[in-house]
Each structure stands twice: as structure tokens, then as C-alpha cells.
């Protein structure tokens, strides 16, 4: 195990299919499912957005995930190293290695703000544990959340703790604790979400929520919502950020990339839909605003917990699980950079600490954009960024620009540059279905979405 920290040592592999699925699901399932999916669904009008999102997962996300895991496994290296090796392997085409660099950069930017949001779970754990949600009214819950955002000191503290936790695991080598942690985490999260959905059914607004989530009203769909849905498909599946490539590098040769990718995508989507079914009935029951933004679950869920029997216990458990889910995701974000630096001769500990500190520093600007700098919208001169705070900009830049672009380039690489015999050797009989999709369908779909957002 110690040998892994040495540059050039061949990395240990996941013990098997199950271990890889657990790590990949740990990366995929996180704030994206429980925090981001509900609030962007609320902001983008519900059903039609959800439908587009599901289509993006199936037609673009899943084949790109297969591509990334394949590239990672073929390269057996960090995302940057694997892309460089893959590019070399297809002839003189080094430029494609840029995909790995952009992915690592995207993961770094995401980590910087993800840590701030994940930090919110910790004061919520304390509040829940202390019974602070018992009988809480929607207004008071809103005020509680507002108070947290208004306090740079608190946000900074929890951001720091969370980044520390991320660095800790990353420095120790991700394959150590991750496998075991995720094995109990995911089932527990699933059960807890089911309990929340069960409660949501008693609010009398479950039907309205199901209608909101699954009855598409295409008049509410804009070109930008389609881009948001597409970007979220990548974000939620940890694509175009190196995470799946980095984890794919530790995957044994005889394991089916297609089957494992399908499993990961299905579990990730299941968690997001459950989160939606748990949250929107509460939103409607309490007259809250579906488009309330990033605070949505932090305002709504305490109200629900506050009214259910054993609510403080379940609330504590829920925010603990959310913290863990975010943790197993943030570890995978740092892995892109750490595995690269490690390859370049930097020890794993130094790489994790250095990368963590750098992301922590950038994260401070997200902390400030939620309060002292909330009026700072530095990129107003570009229409795409108008009115966006630094946090909004990081989110938009990664999910709506870098990730779709990275995925597009990945599809073009595996669909047009890489020799089909090479990809077929990795994907087996699934290759026949996958290939036309990544060659035509995925890139054309991404290009169309981009086109309508730029015109």
C-alpha cells in the first residue's frame, strides 16, 4: 500500500466490480443529486426539464461515462496522463490530451465551491441534533439558512473542515476507506430518502409534486434550461472532470465497463428522483417557492423533519449522510489532480495537501460571494454571465461550458480519432451500440444545445 505513494509505482486495482461500482457511485451520488437537482428543477419549471435531463443521461451521459472509464483503464494513469497516452496511441494527435487538462481544471473549480456547500451540512447536523428543527415554521427555517449564509466566518469554518476531510482521505489513498464507507452509506441514504418520500406522501401535496416533476410543460423550456439539464447530466455523473477516468484506471481488465456504467447511472438517477419526490411535496405543502435557488433543501427539509415523529433523529442522520455523500464525491474531484501530480513525482500527501489548499483558497471567494461580495458580478459584460456572482460563475463555467465541451471533445476523440478496434477491445459486445452513439448522436446533441445557447 505504501508503494502507491511512490511516483511510477503501478496503482493497486479495485478488488472487483463491486468495489469499482461503490467508488463510482460514491463519486456520482452527492450534492448534485440531493441539493442541486431539486433546486435547478424548481428553477427550470419541472417536468420538461426533468425529461430533458433524463434523456441527456441516457443518450449522452451514459456513453460518455463508458468512454471515460475506458480511456482511464486503457491509459492506467491520471486523467491527464491517460488522455496523453490515448492521444499518442492514436497517432500524432497530442492536442487531444487537452481534454485531460480541462477535466482536471474543472474538477478543481468544482471542488472549490462544492466544499463550501458541503460545509453547510455540518451546522445543520448540529442544529438537528439539538432539536432545533422541532416544529420549525417555513419562515424560521428560511431565516436560519439566511443567517448561515450571512456569516462568512461560519461558512469559512465549515468549508475548512470539509476540505480538511477531503484532503485526509485523498492523502491516504482513496482505495483505502472508500470502498467500505460507500458500501453502507449508499443503502442508508437510499432508505432515508424512502422514509422522506413516505413522509412527503402524507403532506397531501404528493400528487402535485409528481405532476410537477413528471408532467412536462414544454412551454417552460428555454434553450438555457436545456443547457442546464445537459450540464447537470455531466455534473451528476462526475463526467468531464477526470473522476471517472481516474477511477477507471484502477479497474480490472475483465470487468464490463458497460454494465458497471449502467449501474452507476441508474443509481445516481434513482437518488436524484427520490430527492425530488421527497422535497417538492414539502415545497408545495408550505407554499414555498420551487425556484428558490440553492437554499431549497436547506429551507424545506428542516420543516418536514420538524413535523415528523422522530424528526430530530432522522434529520441528524440525513445531514450526516449528505455530508458523507458529498465527501465521497469531493475525494474523487481531488483525485484527478492528485493522481496527476503523483505521476509527476510529487508524493500523494503533498499533492493532496497542496491541491486541497489551493482549492480551499479559491473556495473562499465562493464564501464571500454569498455575503460580503454578493453584489459583485464581475463578468457582467458577457451576456452569459450577467448578474452572476463568483459562485454562480464557477457553477456556470464548469457545468454549462467546460463539462459539455469536455464531453463533446471526448465523444469526438473516441468516435472519430480512436481506432474502433481499440475501443472494441475494452467494451466488448456493447461496442456495437456505443460506437454510433458517441460518433454521431452525442456530439450532435451537444453541438445543437451549444448552438442554441450562443445564438
| Burial category of 210 from C-beta neighbours within 10 Å (exposed 0-12, middle 13-18, buried 19 and up) | middle
Residue of 141, 241, 316, 342 interacting with ligand PFF (CB under 6 A)? 241
Q: Which stretch binds ligand PFF (CB under 6 A): 44-52, 93-101, 237-245, 360-368?
A: 237-245
Cβ 369 vs Cβ 390: under 8 Å: yes
Q: CB of residue 237 vs ligand PFF: minimum separation in angstroms?
A: 6
Residue number with CB closer to Na ion (121 or 236): 236
Binders of Na ion among residues 209 to 238 (CB under 5 A) are: 236
Quick check: 32 binds Na ion (CB under 5 A)? Answer: yes
- Neighbouring CB atoms inside 10 A of 105's CB total 18
Chain centroid, CA 307 distance in Å: 30
Q: What are phi and psi of 303, to 5 degrees?
A: -65, -45
Which whole-number Å values give the CA distances from 183 to 20, 22, 104, 328, in the listed order?
A: 11, 6, 27, 11
Residue 243 binds what, of ligand PFF, Na ion, none (CB under 5 to 8 Å, by partner type)?
ligand PFF
Secondary structure (DSSP) of 257-294: HHHHHHHHHHHHHHHHHHHHHHHHHHHHHTT--TT--T
| Burial category of 313 from C-beta neighbours within 10 Å (exposed 0-12, middle 13-18, buried 19 and up) | middle
Residue number with CB closer to ligand PFF (277 or 331): 331
Quick check: 261 binds ligand PFF (CB under 6 A)? Answer: no
264-283 footprint of Na ion as x/- string (CB under 5 A): ----x---------------
Quick check: 235 binds ligand PFF (CB under 6 A)? Answer: yes
Residue of 11, 32, 79, 306 interacting with ligand PFF (CB under 6 A)? 32
Q: CB of residue 23 vs ligand PFF: minimum separation in angstroms?
A: 11
Quick check: 329 binds ligand PFF (CB under 6 A)? Answer: yes
Cβ 175 vs Cβ 339: under 8 Å: no
- What is the torsion angle, in degrees rounded to the nearest 10, for the CA atoms of residue 332, residue 334, residue 335 and residue 337? 150
State the residue for C-alpha cell 463510482: 24
Residue of 11, 26, 30, 47 interacting with ligand PFF (CB under 6 A)? 30
Quick check: 296 binds ligand PFF (CB under 6 A)? Answer: no
Q: Which three cell numbers stand for residue 220?
A: 417552460
Residues constituting the chain:
455
Cβ 26 vs Cβ 332: under 8 Å: yes
Quick check: 28 binds Na ion (CB under 5 A)? Answer: yes
Q: CB of residue 36 vs Na ion: minimum separation in angstroms?
A: 8
Residue of 21, 23, 31, 303 interacting with ligand PFF (CB under 6 A)? 31
Quick check: 294 binds ligand PFF (CB under 6 A)? Answer: no
Q: What are phi and psi of 6, to 5 degrees?
A: -80, 135
Quick check: 107 binds ligand PFF (CB under 6 A)? Answer: yes
Residue of 83, 144, 243, 245 interacting with ligand PFF (CB under 6 A)? 243
Quick check: 33 binds Na ion (CB under 5 A)? Answer: yes
Residue number with CB closer to ligand PFF (20 or 206): 20
What does the binding site for Na ion look like in residue numbers (CB under 5 A)?
28, 32-33, 236, 268
What does the binding site for ligand PFF look like in residue numbers (CB under 6 A)?
27-28, 30-33, 107, 110, 235-236, 238, 241, 243, 329, 332-333
Amino acid at each position: 500500500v505504501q508503494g502507491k505513494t511512490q511516483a511510477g509505482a503501478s496503482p493497486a486495482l479495485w478488488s472487483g466490480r463491486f468495489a469499482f461500482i461503490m467508488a463510482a457511485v460514491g463519486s456520482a451520488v452527492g450534492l448534485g443529486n440531493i441539493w442541486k437537482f431539486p433546486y435547478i428543477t424548481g428553477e427550470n419549471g419541472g417536468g420538461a426539464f426533468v425529461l430533458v435531463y433524463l434523456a441527456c443521461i441516457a443518450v449522452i451521459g451514459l456513453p460518455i461515462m463508458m468512454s471515460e472509464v475506458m480511456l482511464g483503464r486503457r491509459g492506467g494513469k491520471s486523467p491527464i496522463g491517460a488522455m496523453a497516452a490515448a492521444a499518442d496511441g492514436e497517432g500524432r494527435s497530442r492536442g487531444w490530451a487537452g481534454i485531460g487538462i480541462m477535466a482536471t481544471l474543472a474538477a478543481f473549480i468544482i471542488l472549490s465551491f462544492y466544499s463550501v456547500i458541503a460545509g453547510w451540512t455540518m451546522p445543520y447536523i448540529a442544529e438537528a441534533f439539538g432539536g432545533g428543527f422541532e416544529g420549525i415554521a417555513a419562515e424560521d427555517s428560511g431565516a436560519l439558512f439566511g443567517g448561515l449564509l450571512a456569516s462568512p466566518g461560519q461558512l469559512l469554518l465549515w468549508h475548512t473542515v470539509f476540505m480538511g476531510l477531503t484532503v485526509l482521505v485523498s492523502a491516504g489513498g482513496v482505495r483505502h476507506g472508500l470502498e467500505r464507507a460507500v458500501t453502507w452509506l449508499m443503502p442508508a441514504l437510499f432508505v432515508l430518502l424512502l422514509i422522506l418520500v413516505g413522509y412527503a406522501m402524507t403532506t397531501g401535496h404528493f400528487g402535485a409534486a409528481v405532476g410537477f416533476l413528471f408532467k412536462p410543460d414544454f412551454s417552460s423550456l428555454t434553450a438555457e434550461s436545456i443547457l442546464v439539464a445537459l450540464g447537470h447530466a455531466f455534473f451528476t455523473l462526475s463526467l468531464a472532470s477526470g473522476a471517472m477516468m481516474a477511477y477507471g484506471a484502477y479497474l480490472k481488465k475483465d470487468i464490463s465497463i458497460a454494465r458497471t456504467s449502467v449501474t452507476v447511472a441508474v443509481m445516481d438517477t434513482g437518488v436524484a428522483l427520490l430527492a425530488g419526490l421527497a422535497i417538492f411535496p414539502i415545497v408545495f405543502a408550505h407554499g414555498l417557492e420551487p425556484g428558490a435557488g440553492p437554499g431549497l433543501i436547506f429551507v424545506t427539509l428542516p420543516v418536514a423533519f420538524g413535523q415528523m415523529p422522530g424528526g430530530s433523529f432522522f434529520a441528524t442522520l440525513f445531514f450526516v449522510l449528505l455530508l458523507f455523500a458529498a465527501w465521497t464525491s469531493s475525494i474523487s474531484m481531488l483525485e484527478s489532480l492528485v493522481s496527476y501530480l503523483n505521476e509527476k513525482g510529487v508524493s500523494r500527501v503533498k499533492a493532496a495537501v497542496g491541491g486541497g489548499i489551493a482549492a480551499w483558497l479559491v473556495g473562499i471567494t465562493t464564501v464571500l460571494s454569498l455575503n460580503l461580495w454578493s453584489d459583485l458580478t464581475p463578468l457582467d459584460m458577457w451576456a452569459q454571465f450577467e448578474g452572476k456572482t463568483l459562485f454562480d460563475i464557477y457553477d456556470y463555467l464548469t457545468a454549462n461550458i467546460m463539462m459539455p465541451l469536455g464531453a463533446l471533445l471526448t465523444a469526438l476523440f473516441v468516435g472519430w480519432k480512436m481506432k474502433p478496434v481499440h475501443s472494441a477491445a475494452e467494451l466488448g459486445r456493447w461496442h456495437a451500440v456505443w460506437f454510433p452513439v458517441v460518433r454521431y448522436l452525442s456530439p450532435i446533441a451537444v453541438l445543437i444545445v451549444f448552438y442554441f445557447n450562443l445564438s
